[in-house]
Amino acid sequence: MTGRIVVGIDGSQQSGSALEWAVARARLGGEQLELLNAYNLTPELNFYGYHGGVSQPVDWFIEFSEQVLEAAEARVRELAPELTCTRTSSMGHPAHLLADASEDASAVVVGRRGLGSVASALLGSVSNRLTIQAKCPVIVVGEDEFPTTGPIVVGVDGSEFGTNALRYALAEAAVRQTSVRAITAYDVPPHATRDDPELVARMQAEAEAEAAGTITQALDEVKGTDVESVSVDQVAVAGRAAEAILSHADDAQLIVVGTHGKGLVRRVLIGSVSRQVLNDADRPVAVVDLPDN
């Protein structure tokens, strides 16, 4: 059965970048594309004397949605006429509609920010919500041109989320015929002081070895997934996890993170490491949850 990649289209430049990333990925794996645009109507308001709301008829929003999708499909035909492509125009919040469409999809691809958002340090509201609600991996693409060569960089932390992120990274690397760079971070215990350099060196070596073992264990857990031939570079880095991942992703074509890291219990918010990577990365980021979530 051919897979399906859902692409959020809103007419912004970043959704255009998401579309082109999805086309390139679908050409590698043979997936079909579903282009989805969500339109919303603001109700008429009379709030303490303030009057506002919809200034256009419903038909205007429907026509705009369909025209944006037609333009997106035309771009797909220009780039890859062999791909199967469908269009979906629906009324509602884009994050909710994309999450519904993610059922049984291979991936959902969205821009980092869409129309109406401001350039800020915060992730766009749609991509942020979607990483929590989606039922498949979510790929967040920025406005910059995305690389098509280089390794897949993935954060591994000993949690089941990190292991599933590694599983996804290996599968992507197999499709792209590239390697994986697995990153894990560790901290030297704070009581290790410079007063005893030998102790500091020994403790750092032990922490690094333990971190490296985290990757080895995760690799053992994903054995038998038909991607064992993918080359994996294991890197243990002292410091914070997000900085470790980003500092080793300058040549990556894709960064993969789990939705949550070790020690997180509640599933209300995306993990802090994943959020920082999404906010600061200058290349596409895949956010992967557990299967059957």
pLDDT digits (tens, 9 = 90+) for 98-139: 999 999 999 999 988 754 433 333 345 677 778 888 999 999
- Hey, what CATH class is 152-288 in? alpha beta
* Distance from C-alpha of 275 to C-alpha of 83, rounded to nearest angstrom: 32
- The reported pLDDT for the residue numbered 48 is 59
Q: Where does CATH 3.40.50.620 sit in the chain?
A: 4-141, 152-288
Cα dihedral 121/255/185/218 (nearest 10): 140
**Which of the following CATH numbers is that of domain 4-141: 3.40.50.300, 3.30.1330.100, 3.40.190.10, 3.40.50.620?**
3.40.50.620
What sign has the CA pseudo-torsion 206, 208, 214, 215? negative
* Distance from C-alpha of 277 to C-alpha of 85, rounded to nearest angstrom: 31
**Structure pTM?**
0.85
Phi first, then psi, for residue 243 (nearest 5°) are: -65, -35
> Which of 90-99, 123-132, 182-191, 284-293 has the highest average model confidence (pLDDT)?
90-99
- The reported pLDDT for the residue numbered 1 is 43
pLDDT band, very low/low/confident/very high, at 259 (cuts 50, 70, 90): confident
List, for residues 54-83, the tens digit of each pLDDT value.
566 778 888 989 999 999 999 999 999 999
Burial of 130 (0-12, 13-18, 19+ CB in 10 A): buried
* Distance from C-alpha of 212 to C-alpha of 111, rounded to nearest angstrom: 34
